[in-house]
Amino acid sequence: MASPSKRQLSLLTAISLVIANMVGSGVYTSLGFQLGSLQQLFSVLFLWVVGGVIAICGAFVYAALATEFPENGGEVNFLNKLYNPATGFLAGWISTLAGFAAPVAIVCTAIGKYGVTFIPLPATTLSIIVLLVITLLHAGSIHVSTRFHQFSTLLNIAIMVFIIGSAWVHSPHQTIDISPNLTAWKEITISGRFPVNLYWVIYAYTGWNAATYIAGEIRNPEKNLPLALFVGTLLVTILYLLLNHAFLLSAPVSSLRDQVEIGFITANYLFGSNAGWIMSVCICITLVSTASAMTFAGPRVTAVMGNQSKAFTWLKRTNKHHIPTWAIYFQSAIVIILILLNKFQELVNLVGFLLSICTSLAVAGYFKLNKKKSLLIRLAAIIFLCINSWVIIYGLYLKPYISIGGLLIILIGYVLWRYTAIKSI
Q: What is the pLDDT along the chain (425 residues), one digit of tens a residue?
A: 444 445 566 777 777 777 776 776 678 888 888 888 888 899 999 999 999 999 889 888 988 887 788 776 677 778 888 898 888 888 888 888 887 888 889 889 888 888 887 888 898 999 999 999 888 877 766 566 566 666 766 777 887 888 888 888 876 556 777 888 888 888 888 877 888 888 888 888 877 776 566 656 677 777 777 788 788 888 888 999 999 999 988 888 888 888 877 888 888 888 777 777 777 787 888 788 778 878 877 777 777 777 767 777 777 777 776 778 888 888 899 999 999 987 777 888 888 889 889 889 999 999 988 777 788 889 999 999 999 999 898 888 888 888 898 899 999 988 988 887 765 44
**Secondary structure of 4-59 in the HEC alphabet?**
HHHCCECHHHHHHHHHHHHCCHHHHHCHHHHHHHCCCHHHHHHHHHHHHHHHHHHH
Q: According to the model, what pLDDT value does residue 5 have?
A: 47
| Strand ranges, E, within 255-402 | none
For domain 4-420, give the CATH number: 1.20.1740.10
Per-residue pLDDT, 171? 60
Structure confidence at residue 384 (pLDDT) = 94
Q: What is the dihedral of CA 128, 307, 93, 204, to 10 degrees?
A: -60
**Model confidence, pTM:** 0.78
The pLDDT score that the predictor gives to residue 140 is 65
Q: What is the pLDDT of residue 381?
A: 94
Q: Which pLDDT score, from 0 to 100, does residue 261 have?
A: 77
> Angle at the Cα of 11 (from 79 to 360), degrees rounded to 5?
25
Domain residue spans in the chain?
A: 4-420
Confidence (pLDDT) at 351: 85
